[in-house]
Amino acid sequence: MGHTPLLMAGSPGWTEPATAGHTAAGDAWGRGSGQTPSEFLENPSQSSRLTAPFRKHVRPKKQHEIRRLGELVKKLSDLTGCTQVVDVGSGQGHLSRFMSLGLGLMVKSIEGDQRLVERAQRLDQELLQALQKEEKRNPQVVHTGPRHCPHHVVRWVDPTALCEELLLPLENSPQSEARLLLTGLHACGDLSVALLRHFCRPEVAALASVGCCYMKLSDPGGYPLSQWVAGLPGRELPYRLREGACHALEEYAERLQKAGPGLRTHCYRAALETVIRRARPELRRPGVQGIPRVHELKIEEYVQRGLQRVGLDPHLPLNLAALRAHQAQENRVVAFFSLALLLAPLVETLILLDRLLYLQEQGFHAELLPIFSPELSPRNLVLVATKRPLGETFSVLETEDS
């Protein structure tokens, strides 16, 4: 959430706030810094720290993320002597591609969606060809060693079971020497939890995990993980709190300052909920797929489209007077949502500290490092873990490469 986490007083590993993990990089990219990363000062759509072939098909947010996490993984791999990186929940393979073709790492890329894997493989070949053409045009650029595309595997990772494929070495990495580093860029819900559990296996030497979609965590199973948090009174995190922890405070603060019509969405969604509960009381807070240009719709038009998206009859009779009364409460709804959103950093901190403590309770070494600019990537904390202590070297992982 763009904040430097503070361990809760009395928890394992707690220190005084002055030494609780603040670093120059963490403070510079902390909440509310308002600073644009230097890589986007010249062009807000293109990172100056990535060459053109690595930027193609990649949004600015993702450019920033794959570069920062990829560089951290490379440093961590070198420090721990890992021979192979496993990117879990790799999607279209942007991170895997940068780590393999950009940083020279041996990468296995695991994704459950066959279509995404097929697209990733096409993008691999496209990038490989672009890099080869670039080298021919510019012979001064020296690339040492052969280029290896990621090895893609179509596989759903069950958070509750061991995934043998995840732990298998690549063919050119001998079984007896394989040391794995597990990573996941915004691995959804329990998938991040699965990474932690697989890290406990002897084949795995290091972990770099960035989580998201906390509302999809199972309870129990995905939270709490640590004995310490499990023993806390009132440690329960209902769906509403976990869902709120996924919102971006920085982005929402800008929306409030602009006071644009897009804020109307909150009031419209609240009005839709009253109609849903009257029509089907057991259906509470169903997910509603995005409705475009909400601010241009009348409230009854929004409700009709929303009903259709949750599987209800869009032609249900509506009480227009009641809907208008709801719409008149728009400012109060925005105020309520804003107050609820203030809890987001606290909830996310609890979830991430629970994961850190889970690893520490088993004798592993773990830190939470802020590596992304929160203005670009609100889920900006990476959980880094190793089997042997790195000491002060942990702080090197979050620094920018020159």
- The rounded average pLDDT for each run of 10 residues, N- to C-terminus, in the chain (402 residues) is 40 33 32 67 90 93 95 96 96 97 96 96 95 82 73 92 90 70 94 95 96 87 93 90 83 85 89 93 82 91 92 94 94 90 90 96 95 85 94 81 66
**Alpha helix ranges (H) inside 231-319:** 239-244, 249-258, 264-279, 299-309
Q: Can the peptide bond before residue 374 be classed as cis, meaning omega within 30 degrees of 0? A: no
Rounded Cα distance between 3 and 20, Å, is 12
Domain boundary, last residue among 314, 340, 366 = 340
Domain boundary, last residue among 290, 311, 340 = 340
Domain boundary, last residue among 290, 320, 340 = 340
Cα separations in angstroms, 205 against 3, 75, 196: 27, 13, 12
Rounded Cα distance between 181 and 74, Å, is 10
Q: Are residues 78 and 200 in the same domain?
A: yes
Give domain status of residue 355, yes or no: no
Q: Give the pLDDT score at 185.
A: 96
* The total number of residues written for the chain in this structure: 402
Q: Are residues 297 and 182 in the same domain?
A: no
Give domain status of residue 131, yes or no: yes
Q: Give the pLDDT score at 274.
A: 93
Q: Are residues 42 and 97 in the same domain?
A: yes
What is the value of pTM for the model shown? 0.81
What is the number of other CB atoms lying within 10 angstroms of the CB of residue 205? 23
Give domain status of residue 240, yes or no: no
What is the number of other CB atoms lying within 10 angstroms of the CB of residue 8? 16
Q: Give the pLDDT score at 143.
A: 60
Q: 120: part of which helix (H) or strand (E)?
A: helix 114-137
The residues near 272 (Cβ < 8 Å, ≥ 6 apart) are 288, 302, 303, 306, 307
Count how many Cα atoms sit within 13 Å of the Cα of residue 118 in the half-sphere of its side chain. 3
Q: Are residues 385 and 330 in the same domain?
A: no
Three-state SS across 128-180?
HHHHHHHHHHCCCCCCCCCCCCCEEEECCCCCCCCCHHHHCCCCCCCHHHCCE
Q: Give the pLDDT score at 18.
A: 28
What is the number of other CB atoms lying within 10 angstroms of the CB of residue 259? 10
Give domain status of residue 26, yes or no: no
Q: Are residues 134 and 193 in the same domain?
A: yes
CATH of residue 146 = 3.40.50
Split into its structural domains, the chain has a count of 2
Q: Are residues 150 and 290 in the same domain?
A: no
Give domain status of residue 238, yes or no: no
Q: Are residues 162 and 104 in the same domain?
A: yes
333: helix, strand or coil:
helix
Give domain status of residue 14, yes or no: no
Give domain status of residue 15, yes or no: no
Q: Please, what is the Cα angle at 207 between 203 and 212, to 5 degrees? A: 135
Q: Give the pLDDT score at 141.
A: 63
CB-neighbour burial class of residue 252 (10 A; exposed 0-12, middle 13-18, buried 19+): middle
Q: Are residues 253 and 174 in the same domain?
A: no
What is the number of other CB atoms lying within 10 angstroms of the CB of residue 241? 19
Q: Are residues 386 and 258 in the same domain?
A: no
Q: Are residues 84 and 151 in the same domain?
A: yes
Q: Give the pLDDT score at 176.
A: 54
Q: Give the pLDDT score at 182.
A: 98
- Among 240, 244, 220, 239, which residue's Cα sits nearest to residue 230? 220
Give domain status of residue 82, yes or no: yes
Q: Are residues 66 and 200 in the same domain?
A: yes
Q: Which domain holds residue 281?
A: 249-340
Q: Give the pLDDT score at 3.
A: 45
CB 355 within 8 A of CB 196: yes
Q: Are residues 184 and 70 in the same domain?
A: yes
